[in-house]
Amino acid sequence: MDFATGKTIEAAIIVIWILLILGIGVWARKRVKASGDFMVGGRAIPVWMLGMWSAGASVSAWAFFGLPGAIYASGAWQHWAICTPMIVGFALTILILGRWMRISAKKYNLMTMPDFLGEVYGGKWIRIFAAIGIFFACVFYSTAQFKAIGVLLGTILGLDYIPAAALGIAISAVYVLLGGFIAGAIINSLNVSMMIIASVIAVGLGYVITGGYGPMLSSISAATGGTTWLNQDAALGGVAWWFWISWALFLSSFGLIGQPAIVQKLYGIKKPSTLWIWGLMGGIIFGVTCPAYCYLGEVVKWMAVQPGSTVAAQITGLGLGADGVIAWFTVNYLAVESPILGGLLIAGVIGAAWSTIDGFLMMGGAAIVRDIINKCFRPNWTDKQLLRNLRIGMLITGAIIVAETMFPADIISWLAAIGWATFAATLAPALILATQWKGVTKWGGAIGVGVGVVVTIFMTLVWRLPNFTPWGLGTAKFMKTFYLDAGAWGFVLGLIAIVVVSLVTKKERGPLYYDIHKDVAKPTQ
């Protein structure tokens, strides 16, 4: 098939998908009557639907778009080193946190992660610090999703990057502002279904093109002549162990507990007894879809190293850096070879991005409007006022993300890593200790969350980002200098701060603490 016809077929598939999503947003608008419907779907969403949504939020555009590009450019080791530990995170979340988040949700009207922390530790400062960390992480992580959408929509619809990214933002804003959590649950069940279909297609295509996983790696090894592409430690400049400690231990597995786009879905589950289904579905779907799209990065690398291949030059010609790998494969290559499969693969990437974006828009707006302004300074708002202001907060969050999309379109994996690490460092230590250690106190929690936020943001902005500050180091150079990643330092120092400060401060706690630790006597009034 000629390229123009194939590209038109792919574009038609994407337009149909967009219209379906917008239609569901309009339909769900009638079911949003109060802030509880908007934020947690009235706590009546089937567990299978939320399990799918959480899995999609964990995969997002970093795994379906940024990570295959990073694998193509830097090495096959990322295929399993980054995907595998996160599967464990779903089980850890249920074992450590899930039961208490869901059974206390109605009693304390919990809708956000700062809600849970505020009711366990007590006081407003832990809410404020947690909300600041969430807002910062939301902006970075959401921008990564919009960049992926901007690149793909721009490539397939013939738009410049900025208008294409703005279109993706507008579509997301419409269905989130109209239908909230209810629309998100339904739409993302469809998005994740498309992700699963696309992942199966990706694996099948990869085997057809390369002849199998083992032969593919052998061919790449022979063609690259022993370069660092197949050697994790060499690719990371000799700091592979520190990478594994930072990400596999702190940020990917235990760090998943601190990902509100994933974990806050527990509030919406209809029956607490079905929590295990959420964890099982999340782990399985993530374990299937993430490695499948990572595999495409290796497939394109195989195509690029074949004798006489012009693939590398074509990808470079897109001007997107490594993030052009999936754009080239789905549009430039499959538009000719198989446009229907190409359209489905593109829909899978966009579905992965949208399955994360809606949650981040809601969380970013709620962090400022509900967790800080309403809960700490304006507690007398009516539910109608809160619902209106939540929508305004989400529009402001979206406007900031629009501004950030002006950054280069080739740093998607960087932005996603920063967002994920900031969530983990800000929230995970306090959430884990809230249920696992009786010694936590109000000021221990507040100081610990504050330390996690400040350390992660400071180290990220000053050293972690490549080419954005005079000291920008990137991953390998950063770890060779500081050993652990920025988020891992925030995680470790935040955890230590909670323990140390809790040991030396008055045993003040919130009411939920005494529900969790029933053998600790409540203080007398």
The per-residue pLDDT for range 83-110, each reduced to its tens digit, is: 777 888 888 999 898 888 888 888 888 8
Residues in the chain: 525
Provide the residue type at 25 as one letter.
G
The per-residue pLDDT for range 485-515, each reduced to its tens digit, is: 999 999 999 999 999 999 999 999 999 999 9
What average pLDDT is seen over the chain? Answer: 82
The per-residue pLDDT for range 49-92, each reduced to its tens digit, is: 788 878 777 777 777 787 888 888 877 777 677 777 788 888 89
Which residues lie across from 463 on neighbouring strands? Answer: none
Domain holding 494, by residue range, is 3-28+36-516
In a domain, 523, yes or no: no
The 3-class SS string of 188-236 reads HHHHHHHHHHHHHHHHHHHHHHHCCHHHHHHHHHHHHCCCHHHCHHHHC
In a domain, 522, yes or no: no
pLDDT value for 451 = 97
182-191, 273-282, 360-369, 449-458: least confidently modelled range: 182-191
The Cβ-side half-sphere exposure at 256, using a 13 Å CA radius, reads 31
In a domain, 273, yes or no: yes
- The three-state secondary structure class of 439 is coil
DSSP state of 45: B
- The three-state secondary structure class of 2 is coil
In a domain, 330, yes or no: yes
Confidence of residue 410 (pLDDT cuts 50, 70, 90): very low
pLDDT at residue 41 is higher than 60: no
Residue 337 sits in a domain whose CATH number is: 1.20.1730.10
Total number of domains constituting the chain? 1
In a domain, 242, yes or no: yes
In a domain, 423, yes or no: yes
- The three-state secondary structure class of 517 is coil
In a domain, 362, yes or no: yes
Q: How many helices (H) and strands (E) does the chain have?
A: 26, 0
DSSP state of 519: T
Provide the residue type at 430 as one letter.
A
Kindly state the average pLDDT of the residues 242-263. Answer: 86
Sequence-distant (6+) residues with CB within 8 A of 371 are: 112, 114, 115, 127, 128, 130, 131, 134
